[in-house]
Amino acid sequence: MKSLAFLALALAGASWGLGFPLGKLVLQETEAAHMVLLRFAVAALAAAPFALRRAETRALFRSPPVLLAGALYGVAFMVQFEGLAHVSVTLAALMVGLMPALIALSARFLGERVSRASWAGVAAATLGAALIAGKPDGAGSPLGVALSLGALLIFLAWLLVLRRAPKPANPMAVPAVTVIVAAATILPIALFMHGPPRLDLSPLAWAGIVGQGVFATLLATAAWQFGSARVGAASAGVFINIEPLMGATLGVLAFGDRLTLALGLGGLLIIAGSFAVVLGEGRSPPSDLGAAPPPTPA
């Protein structure tokens, strides 16, 4: 079962990694808030059959932890992509590399036992992400970096709130409801900030929005919550580093970001750290922090 959980976490990290390059395409034609609104509208439409089919799932719309988690999820993406409008694809993606360390520290603070191998893996993967990011020289503004960091803290709050969410038998229940609540939260904020979104976007931009909604939102959220419910929080968190690795690679290949030695070495550290966490998971029992569909970026 843990092998399947790790595969799901890897899928989530890779799917979230698509969010930054696809988002950068869409940001060429619309505001960040409108892009996030359209992204979650697509995701909510895809999630509706899972969220509305059964009474047990519909009841989650009355669950305070799920409602709060959905609201936090939506706000986190809005802040994150407002930051993306002020930084490069590579830098925005690699800022997410700080998230596993935040999750591991939270897990330890809340009483989860984290093995030495897992700590070593978290440290290696975080060092890899930091090495890749380097200095933001020319890659973004202080405002963009601050927004990106702020989004990580909101995502961490999402993780902690979801610990208290109900645990229905249907693994798609909480992710589907979370996405719909997030879309409902984003709607009034985006309308207040910029008014109604433009819908006369290019086919390329709409392809980016649909890709974000289906893969980088609903699929990523469901895969993450399935996997993170079956392993420790620190172990799950390290797989978020697949997102910055993938985002940085796509930034180099698709957006002309410069390929450096730091990117290659950092990528190797991320991969090695992930393997160390997988090996260390066998020595550390799952905890409540990873048990109730926890945490994203992107």
In a domain, 297, yes or no: no
Total count of domains within the chain = 1
| pTM metric for this prediction | 0.78
Q: Which residues does the chain have with pLDDT short of 70?
A: 1, 89-95, 97-98, 101, 104-105, 108, 112, 114, 129, 132-141, 234, 257-260, 262-263, 267, 271, 274-275, 277-298
The CA-CA-CA angle for residues 34, 75, 153, to 5°, reads: 135
Q: Write the DSSP string, 103-116.
A: HHHHHHHTT----H
In a domain, 296, yes or no: no
pLDDT tens-digit readout, 100-146: 767 766 776 777 676 777 778 778 877 876 776 554 444 556 787 78
* DSSP-derived 3-state class of residue 87: strand
> Quick check: 262 and 227 in contact, CB under 8 A?
no
Distance CA(288)–CA(110), nearest Å, equals: 9
In a domain, 48, yes or no: yes
Distance CA(247)–CA(102), nearest Å, equals: 20
Tell me how far CA of residue 139 lies from CA of 22, 56, 89, 134, 252, in angstroms: 18, 47, 9, 10, 12
In a domain, 58, yes or no: yes
Q: What residues make up the domain containing 195?
A: 2-291
